[in-house]
Structure 1
Amino acid sequence: MSDTTTSTRSVTVAQRPLLLSWAGVTDVGRRRETNQDAFFAEYPLFIVADGMGGHAGGEIASRSTVTRLQAVATSGSVGRASIEGALELAVADIADHPEATDEGTGTTLTGVFLEFDEEEPHWAALNIGDSRVYLLRDDRLIQVTTDHSVVQELIAAGKISPEEAEGHPYSNVITRAVGASELTAPDYVTIDVRAGDRFVICSDGLTKELTDYGIQHFLRANADPAAAVDAMLAAALENGGRDNVTLVVVQVSDESSSTDSSSSDAATAAVDDVSSTEDRQSD
């Protein structure tokens, strides 16, 4: 059974009125009995968590993390410091929960939030684990986040190819998580705010079933975030639905322009403008 949410909000960024539209869904999939994913989608924070560990442990970890971050969002104080403070509380919640006793209990976390500082407001993408953020800009799709996984380290070292990683025996082994045994700070990627941008935030239940080309196809074919979310979920389930599937689509539009922000005319910046900054905690 799916849990969905959709919303639209007008915001002003750098004295420019923008329209943010978003939709999110989580589904147990075709082969799992429980859903260990969780998500939160409400301006200015959009996140997905994919839990792991024991029968109930993964669900506890993902929901504890999302609940703590939701509290930050509703308080109006979203920023890197407040997010990391919320993660500290989530780790304590997970460690104290009587059903989260497995040392492997934890969750991935990924998402985007609007960050306001003394300079130009911008998006910040955050990531812990192998859930992902994608950006469709100027009709090109890029993976914004870098997986924290054994196979990603092997790819980076040149030991296997991306194609070989798909069937690798360690394809599900991640190297960072929010869990009872440790606190790992996110990596961050800074992205300028542009009308026409579309973000996809997802657990690996989506990327196990859809290639990057498939994600790009469904974004291009569905201008409305809710329609894009429904189409990608349906395709993931049709392709096997081997894991829980969770995704959020966030769309940025000029209020005065067409709501079809997937048009290349609306996105004036090249993908190469996306800049990466990291704030890593030693493992």
Structure 2
Amino acid sequence: MGLLTIGAFARATRLSPKALRLYDELGLLPPAHVDPVTGYRRYAPDQVERARLVAWLRRLGMPLVRIRHVCSLDAADAAREVRAFWARAEADFAARRDLVAFLVGHLEREDPAMTATVSPLGIRYAAGSDAGLVRTSNQDTAYAGSRLLAVADGYGDGGAPASAAAVDALKYLEADGVPAGGLLDVLADAVEQAERAVHGAVLAGGGAGDTGDTGTTLTAMLWTGSQLALVHIGDCRAYLLRDGELFRITHDHTVVQTMIDEGRIGAEEAASHPQRSMLVRALGRGADATADMRLHDAGAGDRYLLCSDGLPTVVPDAEIRRVLSGAGEPEEAVRELVALANAAGGPDNVSCVVADVVAGA
């Protein structure tokens, strides 16, 4: 079979002539022959399969630059790249789904008809932090108050002041009532303030303007009276114990978690991976300071745990659930969880905040 005209090739591949011209300009799908006088394009029959692959990848929403890379790979490697792309797309979709749930929940709470019958609730809380058995200093900050719960895990030479600055920047939320503006705006503003505070703390500690090697994670919850609004960036974690079941309600922003999401490694391999502590999002890194935000309807009997990664790195979820289920008061749960981390070697700082949702304001 001879070369195909651009019209015939377009029909065979279900790509428009306009798209084929664009892909030619980008070097993604150059024609087999271009007439030097007329500029008319012709394509080889064996280019049909590649063109169809491009069409399907575009339907997935894959950027053209990444499509060009996929098309340069052999079949097995191309399959892995497509799997990794889709895993990331699903993670992004899940993040947007959480934001939609946040907005819907918040707007419903703005409707008096939806809130008139809500029973008054309150929280009991405790916080604790320990350097562990290996580290010579503690770069964690833990805080628990009547409205604000927070854990931050600093890193780098200025990690301790960075984590303290992030939490201190949120303490204005302790004031009675949610500040003017919607809850989503309040939380977004709080993250921006925390980012500026961390940057300032690093510079005050002798940084030269590049805070890439110093910063902090932050996981915080704001109590609104019937809900807990979550802000999360980094690899501290938040858990919910409800009716005896333990639910992890945050997603780690680490290189290793990204590799798990993309199907490149499994959970067992991740536990010993050399990059397991490398962050992809944190405060103090400018463009990387994009926090996850969620809204949780609270119920009497719920118990929330916020912790730095020094706890789940060495203590299995089953043990965390056992302690949270058995400990009476939040202070007791905090003490037992810190003790468990140290009994497992205490290789890192460990901080915990435990809050119980109780009936009555």
Structure that is richer in helix per residue? 2
Answer yes or no: is the 8 Å Cα contact 2:163–2:198 preserved in 1: no
Amino acid at match of 1:62: S
Amino acid at match of 2:142: F
Residue of structure 2 equivalent to 1:262: none
Secondary structure of the residue that 1:205 maps to in structure 2? coil
Matched, 1:221 2:329: no
**Structure 1, residues 9-67: CA drift from partner, whole Å, max 9, x if none?**
xxx9964232311111001110111100012211211010000012xx10121011111
Amino acid at match of 1:123: L
What are the equivalent positions in structure 2 for 1:232-271 lying under 5 Å apart?
Answer: 232-255=337-360
Answer yes or no: is the 8 Å Cα contact 1:48–1:111 preserved in 2: yes
Task: Point out which structure has higher relative CO (alpha carbons under 8 A, 6+ apart).
Answer: 1
Secondary structure of the residue that 1:207 maps to in structure 2? coil
Matched, 1:167 2:272: yes
Q: Aligned partners of 1:183, 1:60: CA distance in 2, in Å?
A: 19
Residue of structure 1 equivalent to 2:215: 106
**Structure 1, residues 177-222: CA drift from partner, whole Å, max 9, x if none?**
1015556131012211211111000000111121111100101111
Residue of structure 2 equivalent to 1:139: 244
Secondary structure of the residue that 2:170 maps to in structure 1? helix
Answer yes or no: is the 8 Å Cα contact 2:142–2:150 preserved in 1: yes
Q: Aligned partners of 2:238, 2:203: CA distance in 1, in Å?
A: 30
Residue of structure 2 equivalent to 1:89: 196
Matched, 1:211 2:312: no
Match of 2:131 among 28, 33, 50: 28
Q: Aligned partners of 1:58, 1:178: CA distance in 2, in Å?
A: 11
Q: CA deviation at 1:255?
A: 3.9
Q: Which structure's CA Rg is the greater one?
A: 2
Q: CA deviation at 1:104?
A: 0.9
**Structure 1, residues 123-173: CA drift from partner, whole Å, max 9, x if none?**
112110000000011211011000000111111111211122111111010
Matched, 1:129 2:230: no
User: Structure 1 residues 92 and 150, CA, compared in 2 at 3 Å: closer, same or farther?
Assistant: closer
Q: Aligned partners of 2:128, 2:345: CA distance in 1, in Å?
A: 17
User: Structure 1 residues 81 and 171, CA, compared in 2 at 3 Å: closer, same or farther?
Assistant: closer
Q: Aligned partners of 2:273, 2:125: CA distance in 1, in Å?
A: 34
Match of 1:62 among 163, 169, 173: 163
What is the TM-score when the length of structure 1 is the normalising length? Answer: 0.78
Answer yes or no: is the 8 Å Cα contact 1:72–1:82 preserved in 2: no
Q: Aligned partners of 1:82, 1:219: CA distance in 2, in Å?
A: 32
Secondary structure of the residue that 1:248 maps to in structure 2? strand
Secondary structure of the residue that 2:310 maps to in structure 1? helix
RMSD (Å) for aligned C-alpha atoms: 2.3
Q: Aligned partners of 2:116, 2:241: CA distance in 1, in Å?
A: 20
Q: Aligned partners of 1:97, 1:125: CA distance in 2, in Å?
A: 29
**Structure 1: stretches of 5+ with no match in the other structure:** 1-11, 257-283
Q: Aligned partners of 2:202, 2:350: CA distance in 1, in Å?
A: 26
Answer yes or no: is the 8 Å Cα contact 2:304–2:355 preserved in 1: yes
Q: Aligned partners of 2:151, 2:189: CA distance in 1, in Å?
A: 17
Answer yes or no: is the 8 Å Cα contact 2:162–2:202 preserved in 1: no
Amino acid at match of 1:86: Q
Identity, % of aligned pairs?
37
Answer yes or no: is the 8 Å Cα contact 2:165–2:194 preserved in 1: no
Answer yes or no: is the 8 Å Cα contact 1:194–1:252 preserved in 2: yes
Answer yes or no: is the 8 Å Cα contact 2:305–2:353 preserved in 1: yes
Answer yes or no: is the 8 Å Cα contact 1:145–1:189 preserved in 2: no
Q: Aligned partners of 2:239, 2:284: CA distance in 1, in Å?
A: 24
Moved more, 58-67 or 75-84: 75-84
Secondary structure of the residue that 1:49 maps to in structure 2? strand
Residue of structure 2 equivalent to 1:199: 304
Answer yes or no: is the 8 Å Cα contact 1:123–1:193 preserved in 2: yes
Structure that is richer in strand per residue? 1
Matched, 1:152 2:257: yes
Residue of structure 2 equivalent to 1:184: 289
Secondary structure of the residue that 1:201 maps to in structure 2? strand
Answer yes or no: is the 8 Å Cα contact 2:300–2:358 preserved in 1: yes
Answer yes or no: is the 8 Å Cα contact 1:91–1:182 preserved in 2: no
Secondary structure of the residue that 2:281 maps to in structure 1? coil
**Structure 2: stretches of 5+ with no match in the other structure:** 1-114, 180-185
Moved more, 149-158 or 71-80: 71-80
Answer yes or no: is the 8 Å Cα contact 2:187–2:231 preserved in 1: no
